A and B are shown apart, each in its own frame.
Chain A
């Protein structure tokens, strides 16, 4: 899975692909794992391009959030489409993982 990433103001911002489901969740997990390896940074997953996420994808997000927390950082997600936002709401993930409207909002939130 292609994840492009950049460091903005000491925050790691990763742009996620169009679809995360059972077929690519493991790739996604490995790719994210490599990105956040040993960093103590806050991490923002930008879902601008994400159209569909299955529970397998949510599991990877949850694992990643736990890893980031262990390393002293925070994980946030931003720019959710309506359907992805719905998945976060139904599963209750929006109450565990901060959801921001845009990358700028998310970066601002990491400063707080």
Chain B
């Protein structure tokens, strides 16, 4: 049994002759740095030694001793040294005491007269088990620590998603993301631009987890920068696409839709980087998908030129931006929620007030999914031009 430091074993026995015998018979292992021994004459002394010296790894104890016997000691040890391993020395064939000792948490037992070869095997097996146990505990602690860090990352990520939205007599909007795992790859954003224009973004990064989250953070920052600096949706996606190409060995990509709303004209201009086509919902509940602009997901083809298209919203028209987490949400029968159910929701009279629409969409998707696990982030943004224009 090898380790960085010798294992420390406490031998508990009222027989004074045992100490020199153990030291003599185990001298090779002691000299070889495998173990060191400390001794106690009964259970009370043993507990004192254990509380004074937390570096003890293992206890080897006799059963019959004055003041406190070995079986009582077994009961007391967990309160002093919870992770220690105990081996009991019993009279040959004393199955009753051996059973009691095992039930009280002894790891193993040896019988008298002690066969030192057998004792060494037993000690080595006990210490090996202890070492594995400690490694498992360390891994568990590390896992808990990583989990905590992921929770922090997840909170940071959620905190960058806007939760209050610009309101104006001309329009209302709302958005929400429901993450599938701790750190997700979806995001949405809203930006106040020059001359009262409003920038709306929704995006879905390939894959989930930490790498996707980091990629998502840089996408979001680049998109915000480009939106404020560049203006029109096509050139904004061109810029973000080119910047994302740099150092992207993992072939991450992001589908994104970026739109600019001009309250002066009611025009929504948008460019699509491989993202799901937004749904335009009219006040009567009828709807249509916006015309495709044929863009490729961002960070895939360097120098790609993104097309943009425009649609003029009539008063009361709403635009629903969503990620595939909505349309590809699956129920327990592995059916997808699908575009049809999203369209039907509004056809059946769901409110197009952005907050109520978001509530309605999430309720519908979650009801549909039932107990089926959520495999992808679900994100949705609803923007509506006011019905009664000032």
Chain A interface residues (CB < 8 Å from chain B): 21-23, 25, 51-52, 54-56, 58-59, 62-63, 66, 83, 87, 90-93, 95-96
Contact = CB atoms under 8 A, between A and B. Distances in A.
Task: Give chain B's interface secondary structure class.
Answer: loop
A44 B301 CA distance: 21
Contacts of B277: 90
Task: Give chain A's interface secondary structure class.
Answer: helix
Given A56-B206, A59-B207, A22 B376 contact: yes
Contact of B296 (A22, A54, A56, A92): A92
A75 to B, nearest CB: 13
A24 to B, nearest CB: 11
Interface string B191-206: 0000000000000111
A93 B208 contact: no
A55 B205 contact: yes
B276 interface: yes
List the 6 closest A-B pairs by CB distance, nearest first: A92-B296, A59-B206, A56-B207, A63-B251, A91-B274, A55-B206
B204 A63 contact: no
B253 A62 contact: yes
Contacts of A87: 324
Given A91-B274, A92-B296, A66 B204 contact: no
A58 B375 contact: no
B250 interface: yes
Given A91-B274, A92-B296, A22 B251 contact: no
Contacts of A62: 251, 253, 300
30 contacts: A21-B375, A22-B180, A22-B181, A22-B207, A22-B208, A22-B375, A23-B375, A52-B328, A55-B185, A55-B204, A55-B253, A58-B253, A59-B206, A59-B207, A59-B251, A62-B251, A62-B300, A66-B251, A83-B336, A87-B324, A90-B274, A91-B274, A91-B296, A91-B297, A92-B274, A93-B274, A93-B296, A93-B300, A95-B294, A96-B296
